Structure 1
Amino acid sequence: MIKLIKEWVGPLALLLLKGIRVQHHRLSLSKTIFFNFKSLPLRQACKLPVFIYHNTSLYRIGKIEIKSENVFQGMIQWGKLGYKSQGNGKICNYGRIEFHGPVFLWGGCIIENSGTMRFMGDTQIGEGTLMLIRDYLEIGRYTRIGFLSFFMDSDDHFTVNMETQKVTRNKAPIVIGKYNWIANKTVVKKNTKTSDYTIVASSNTLLSKDYTENGEFCVLGGVPAKVIAKGIRRIYNYKAESELNEYFKSHKEAKSFQLNKTPEDLEKYCLDNALHF
């Protein structure tokens, strides 16, 4: 019992001692404590792994599971205010949501789920993103989703072909690969599947089918989405990004910077120093 009390008091005391930062980001202690102890096993809940912010309404918590070997305070942050945040976020979960690692859902995100949602970890969901899930959604590790995007794995209503009288299935899974980078205001519909390292390059793109046949390092865009480039990947190395920014800042006329690396070194260059949560 004493050990359990220490595990509970420690994280709460730490939050209170950081009152200035908590107040700045409008973290709700009451919602945070309620959410953790309502949804998680006691040993996990005592660590306060889920932070809930004031502008996020809890309509229904449902089943929440953290399937990670490393469970720590604030690893999942729901409703954190950003400079693009608009309106209130909402959680209405009648199904199951799994977290396999750290996840940031920025301010104004709305989740309405009656199926299974699986976040593989180190993921950011941009401000104002709406996810309406009836069947299954999986977001791969280290994927970034731009603000005001929309995910829906169901048509909600059935339709009938008047000639054949066939009624088609109105739900199908959405599976987003790891290291995807999805532009803001992207619409993702049922049956969407993307390969690892996919980039959705343009706002207002519509994803609605299986794109995995295009392979990794594929760039999609348009309505409906089509391949606009191949062999392109995002650089997650923040130190490399800083160096590149400095280069292009000091070379106003330069349109590109030439690297000269082996495939192994290029892999390392893209992923080293990536920011984890």
Structure 2
Amino acid sequence: MVRFLLTRAWEFLKLLVRLNIVKTIYFNVRAFGWRGALKLPVYIFGPVKLADMSGKIQIEAENVKRGMIQFGCEDENIIATREPVRISVSGNLTFKGECKFSRAVQLLVWTNGSLEVGNNAWFGSFSKIVSFRSMTIGDNFMGSWECQLFDTDFHFIRDTALNSIPDNTAPVSIGNQVWLGSRVTVLKGTQLPDCCIVAVGSVCNKNYTSTHTSCIMLGGVPAKLLKENVEYISDKPMERKLYRYFYDSANRDGQYTSVTY
């Protein structure tokens, strides 16, 4: 019992050292009011710039708990930076469950814009998420570092032949269990199906659900179908076992093999 209490106390002290206490309290009170802030559902770590908090931020989950949403978390082992997270919400931001934003993430939900993030979502360092109108992200989303998700072109382009100006914004919809590799860009009008993997450096710019319903790999500029019947392993204990298996296989046999499970 004593050992358990000491362990919990040590974990709490480590949390306090990393936590940006002032910004954490301010964010929770501003977003959820004093009553909602008592649960402290949002943690902010490290430097952060709260550029705009005039919009509506809400959590639609059965169990709202402490620290379920985190900004500036340091779970990545590859990226190290002291660049601040930047949060600007003048529209509607909705969380459906737990969500982590790593360091130096830029989050913008513009006036009249809407961003909905599913449960168990992760955004890597230096990612940019911008919603001018509508963006929906499903459960178990994983975006690696330096990803860009935009539902707008930001600026307008005139068609000089027709003397017309088309809309520069279109909704983005991302299904459940989607994995974006590093430096993937998702542009306006993109729709990604469930269980989709997007290869490093790809650019998504259309509705990929019209021809494929799930479990595909996309890649390229613009992105196109690379493989079918694939899914990423989201189970972390299983991932560690696979690392060990292939490491041992390489050392023993001098080559990598595959495993069936």
TM-score of the aligned structures, taking structure 1 as reference length: 0.83
Equivalent position of 2:61 in the other structure: 68
Mapping 1:148-187, distance limit 5 Å? 148-187=146-185
Counterpart in the other structure of 1:78:
71
2:3 corresponds to: none
Taking the aligned partners of 1:128 and 1:214, their CA distance within structure 2 comes to 30
Find the partner of 2:28 among 27, 33, 36. 36
Deviations 1:77-120 (A, max 9, x none): 01123441431110111111101100000110011211111001
CA distance in 1, matches of 2:204, 2:229: 20
Match of residue 256 from structure 1: 258
Kept in 2: contact 1:140–1:179 (CA 8 A): yes
Superposition RMSD in Å: 1.8
Q: What is the alpha-carbon distance in structure 2 between the residues aligned to residue 192 and residue 133 of structure 1?
A: 13
Q: 1:156 to 1:18 in 2, by over 3 A?
A: same
Query: Residues 161 and 63 (structure 1 numbering): CA distance in 2 closer, same or farther, change over 3 Å?
Result: same
Tell me by how many angstroms 1:128 deviates. Answer: 0.7
The one-letter code of the counterpart of 2:96 is H
- Mark the CA change 1:221 to 1:100 in structure 2 (over 3 Å): closer, same or farther: same
Q: What is aligned with 2:226?
A: 228
Matching residue's letter, 2:30: K
Q: Does 1:55 align with 2:38?
A: no
Tell me, yes or no, if the aligned pair for 1:147 and 1:185 is still in contact at 8 Å. yes
Question: Would you say how many aligned residue pairs link Structure 1 and Structure 2?
Answer: 243
Q: Are the equivalent residues in 2 in contact too, given 1:85–1:106 (CA < 8 A)?
A: no
* Aligned equivalents of 1:66, 1:20: Cα separation in 2: 26
CA distance in 1, matches of 2:104, 2:125: 6
> How far did 1:39 drift?
1.1
**CA separation of 1:105 and 1:139: change in aligned 2, threshold 3 A:** same
Q: CA deviation at 1:204?
A: 1.2
Within 2, Cα distance between the matches of 1:54 and 1:47? 21
Percent sequence identity over matched residues?
28
Indicate if the aligned counterparts of 1:118 and 1:139 stay in contact, CA closer than 8 A. Answer: yes
Q: Distance in 2 between matches of 1:227 and 1:174?
A: 19
